[in-house]
Amino acid sequence: MIKKILVAYDGSDSAKTAFEFALDIAKKYGAELNVLAVASAPEFGAEVETEAIIESSLRHYNKILHSLKTRVEGLTATFEVMLGHPLKVLLHTQKVTI
């Protein structure tokens, strides 16, 4: 039985397809749905520029995740934006239990 599902979401067409698939599975099995977006920090730039880019990126991802929240009525779901390298953050996220 599937208990928890982690979906990486960046707003791309592939991410939208993955979210729809995960949503269907979560509804079918009553699984918890965890949606995670990862904002990457720029590699170069002044501290002030880097902060502005990070803040803008975090706002962007919070906005696109907010648009998904109405789709998960009746399910246990979390939506989170983290900062870091997307692959590393996803690999270290301990929310997946099958």
Is pTM, for the whole model, over 0.95?
Answer: no
Helices and strands in the chain: count of H runs, count of E runs: 3, 3
Nearest one of 16, 14, 31, 28 to 77, comparing CA atoms:
31
Do 7 and 36 meet the contact criterion of CB atoms below 8 Å apart?
A: yes
Chain CA centroid to CA 65, Å: 7
Gap between the Cα atoms of 10 and 31, Å rounded: 22
Gap between the Cα atoms of 36 and 48, Å rounded: 26
Assign 78 a pLDDT band (cuts: 50, 70, 90): very high
pLDDT digits (tens, 9 = 90+) for 43-72: 665 566 778 888 888 999 999 999 999 999
